[in-house]
Chain A
Amino acid sequence: MPWTAVSLSLSCLALAFAPETWLSLLEYDRGEIARGQWWRLWSAHLAHFSTAHAAANAVTFLALGALAERQAGTRDFVRMLALGAPIIGIGLWIASPELATYRGLSALAWSAATLAFLAHWPMPAYQSLGALALGALVLAKLVMDAASGAAGSAFLPDGVRPEAGAHLLGVLATLGIGLCQRSLHGSARGQTASPR
């Protein structure tokens, strides 16, 4: 059972019914983060703007997270969440200086999808070409959405802009973590192999 994905999805749904004062303590708030409330870089992903917003993200994360946890293992999945969440927050800080507040689990859902993709790598040659092409298409769509800023969402209430850049950051964060992990893993293997 992918407990991490299930518990995070359920937490999001439960928090959707929490009072607004609690949610405002959890959201990404640029001003408050600057004043030292660092936990918001992690907790922002659990807070949502409405129950519809929370439900759509929780269901998506549950499916993609369960697959990633099963494929990559709970340890790698938790590591991805723990490191990916603040990387997304810091990325938003740098890339979107106008963004005052942010909430949503969807960026981590994209991180989970990327982790599930990486867990299959390397693939047999005949599969890797198709997988790379599909990955490139999805990445291009995310880059286009982030660049145009024109993507819409039926789940967000009025006055809240879809932050498509967060999805791209979620993918890039996991790719970065995966590459670092593989190079560290490779160098550790190299060190243990050299004395032989």
Chain B
Amino acid sequence: MNRTALLLLLVAALLLGGCASAFPRREVRQSASVVDYLYPRAESPPQAEQGIVTLRPPVRVGIAFVPSPPRAGGLPEPEKARLLDRLKASFQQHDFIGRIDVIPSAYLQPQGGFANLQQTARMFDVDVVALVSHDQVRFNDSNSLAVLYWTIVGAYIIHGDEYDVHTLVDVSVFDVASRRLLFRAPGSSQVKGSASLANYGERTRAAQAEGYSKAVEQVIPRLESELGNFKARVRTDTGLRVENRAGYRGGGSADGIALVLALAATLAIPALRRGR
């Protein structure tokens, strides 16, 4: 083999290698699991907490994204804050819930366990924490049009790459003192699309953000329904106790039955007057 042939072979290998590295991996995953965070390294199998949950309305709630492991990627902090604000609105509609704080991810350590959760809850002065875990997988595929990328112009105008983003978002609400899971609300989404090689990165980032947004949209009604169920459960579940917070303000207020009785009385007075 002469020197020219060897040089050509090297150049060809370099070019082909460059093309291969220009295409993204076939599967990209971003996830933060509540189990990995609360039970790090699975030292002991998680066991059901048996303690009684004592709630003191108005309950103070913290909402946070489960911290992602280092180099696991994930949503940028402003996007997380925006999604948490939307979840916050679901909690605000209930009278037994008081202050709601959005806890930035920086306050939670990956694999921090309940010790880290309790520390953060104390810092923010919250009784209950809603942990938002997520699992997003993006599949990347090329279609038959991708062959036109070799025309250079094709890389800018031909949609030869396809993506399929599957997202699962789960809100688990924990009582910090008893470490008990009170309720959870899941949501999922799928976003599909295609892009040219030149704007593939930008399109997939937007699709991933859209995936989170759609999953959160699904979580919100479920969370509201679970909050309603939980309020009803408080009356019957012996594991849940409601106590008043020291120094609370109370009000005597007419309720449904009192108003019905008042209406009946209003109707009865003229009848009694006629009877006399």
Q: Which residues of A contact B (CB under 8 A)?
A: 45, 48-49, 53, 56-57, 59-60, 62-64, 66-67, 70-71, 92, 96, 98-107, 109-110, 113, 116, 138, 141, 144-145, 148-153, 155-156, 158-164, 166-167
Shortest distance between the CB of B274 and any CB in chain A (Å): 13
Jot down 25 A-B pairs with beta carbons below 8 A, ordered by A: A56-B259, A57-B254, A59-B262, A60-B259, A67-B265, A67-B268, A98-B245, A102-B251, A102-B252, A103-B252, A104-B251, A110-B258, A113-B258, A113-B261, A138-B261, A141-B257, A148-B235, A150-B231, A155-B254, A158-B58, A158-B98, A159-B98, A160-B251, A163-B250, A164-B255
Chain B: residues with Cβ within 8 Å of the partner, total of: 33
Q: Does B243 contact A (CB under 8 A)?
A: yes
The answer to whether B150 has its CB under 8 Å from any CB of chain A is no
User: How far does the Cβ of A94 sit from chain B's closest Cβ, in whole Å?
Assistant: 14
Q: What is the bound-complex CA distance between A92 and B235, given in angstroms? A: 22
Do the beta carbons of B253 and A162 come within 8 Å of each other?
Answer: yes
Query: In the bound complex, how far is the Cα of B250 from the Cα of A49, in angstroms?
Result: 10
B7 close to A (CB within 8 Å): no
5 A-B pairs with least C-beta separation: A104-B252, A163-B250, A63-B262, A153-B253, A67-B265
Whether the pair B253, A63 counts as a contact (CB closer than 8 A) is no
Q: Which residue of B lies closest to A99 (CB)?
A: B250
Q: Are A56 and B245 in contact (CB under 8 A)?
A: no
How many A-B pairs have beta carbons closer than 8 Å: the answer is 140
Contacts of A59 in B (CB 8 A): 254, 262
CB atoms of B252 and A167 under 8 A apart: yes
Quick check: is B46 within 8 A (CB to CB) of the other chain? no
Q: Are A106 and B249 CB-contacts (below 8 A) given A70-B269, A152-B95?
A: no
Q: In the complex, which residue of chain B has the Cβ closest to the Cβ of A108?
A: B252
A151 touches B255 (CB 8 A): yes
Kindly name the residue among B57, B58, B244, B268 whose own CB sees the greatest number of chain A CB atoms within 10 A: B244
Given A104-B252, A105-B252, A166-B252, output 18 extra A-B contacts at Cβ < 8 Å: A60-B259, A60-B261, A60-B262, A67-B272, A92-B250, A96-B250, A98-B248, A102-B250, A103-B252, A106-B255, A113-B258, A113-B265, A138-B257, A156-B251, A159-B98, A162-B250, A162-B255, A163-B251
CA distance A66 to B269 in the complex (A): 8
Would you call B251 and A149 a contact (CB within 8 A)? no
Question: Which B positions have Cβ atoms within 8 angstroms of A?
Answer: 57-58, 95-96, 98, 231, 234-235, 242-255, 257-259, 261-263, 265-266, 268-269, 272
Nearest B residue (CB) for A151: B255
Nearest-CB residue, chain A, relative to B236: A148
CB distance from B1 to the nearest CB of A (A): 83
Query: A167 CB to closest chain B CB, in angstroms?
Result: 7
Known: A149-B244, A153-B255. A161 touches B261 (CB 8 A): no
Residue pair B235, A109 in contact (C-beta under 8 Å): no
* Chain A nearest Cβ from B235, distance in angstroms: 5
B259 touches A161 (CB 8 A): no
A145 contacts across to B, CB distance below 8 A: 255
Question: Contacts of B266 on A, CB cut-off 8 Å?
Answer: 63
CA distance A153 to B95 in the complex (A): 8
Judge whether B258 and A100 touch: CB under 8 Å.
Answer: no
A159-B58 in contact (CB<8A): yes
Cβ contact within 8 Å between A163 and B252: yes
Bound form: Cα–Cα A60–B262 in Å: 5
Please, which residues of chain A bring their CB within 8 A of the CB of B58? 158-159, 161
